[in-house]
Amino acid sequence: MHIGVGTAGHLGNADLLFPRRLEQVLNVVCMEAPLKVAFALTLGVATALSAMVLAGAGGKSPLCQAQAAQPLAPRVSFSEDVLPLLKFKCSSCHQAGGEGYEKSGLDLTSYQGVMKGTKFGPMVIPGDPETSNLMRLLDWRASAELRMPHGKKQLSICDRDTIRTWIFDGAKDN
C-alpha cells in the first residue's frame, strides 16, 4: 500500500532524509495503523519505516486524508538557510562597495539583491536551478574567470544543494 503523502502520493526513503518530512511521515504512520514497533533513529529507520508503511493497514482515517492534502512546508528557508550562507561565503565581495558588487552589481546581502540579479541579467530562475546563473557559477559550470567564489575553494556540495533546493522550491522570500 502506498500512503498518499504530499503531491507525489508515494512515500520513499528520500522523503525521510529531511527532518520536517520525517515528522510528517511519522504522524501519518501513527494515524494509519496502531503500530507498536520500537526502533532507534538510525540510518536504518528509513528502510524500517518504509517497510512498515508499505506493509501497513487498511483505509486512511479522515485526519490522515486531510493531512495528506495539505502542502508540505518548504524544505529550505531563504532567511534561515540561504541568506546566512550567502552572507558568510559571498558578501565580502557581493555587497555595496565590494569588488564583486562593483563589477557585476550583484548584492547577495538580501533577498531583493539576490532576485534583482546583476547588471547583465537575473541570477535566479525560480523553480529551475540548473539554468539559474547562480548555480552555474557556484557549480563551476562556467569559465574559470567567472566561477564563484573567485580564488577560493568551491562551496561544499551541501551548501550548493541548499541553494539549489531553495531555487527548485520556487526561490521564495521565506
User: pLDDT averaged over consecutive 10-residue blocks of the chain (174 residues)?
Assistant: 40 46 42 34 38 43 46 79 97 96 97 97 98 98 94 96 98 97
The whole-number pLDDT of residue 74 equals 54
- Asked if the bond preceding 149 is cis, omega within 30° of 0, the reply is yes
**First vs last C-alpha separation in the chain:** 35
pLDDT for res 159? 98
pTM value surpassing 0.75: no
Q: Provide φ and ψ at 59, rounded to 5°.
A: -65, 160
**141 vs 143: CA distance, rounded Å:** 7
- Beta pairing partners, 121: 118
103 C-beta neighbours (distance < 10 Å), count: 13
pLDDT of residue 75: 84
From CA 124, how far away is CA 82, in angstroms rounded? 13
Cell numbers 551541501 correspond to what residue?
158
pLDDT of residue 55: 42
**What pLDDT is attached to residue 73?**
55
Q: How much is the pLDDT for 147?
A: 95
The Cα 111–Cα 101 span in angstroms is 15
Q: What is the pLDDT of residue 54?
A: 40
- Residue 121's SS3 state is strand
**Measuring CA to CA, which residue among 69, 70, 50 is closest to residue 2?**
50
CB 167 within 8 A of CB 130: no
Determine the 3-state secondary structure of 51 from DSSP: helix
CB contact at 8 A, 15 and 5: yes
Report d(CA 97, CA 107) in Å as an integer.
10
Torsion of CA 76, 78, 79, 81, to 10 degrees: 50
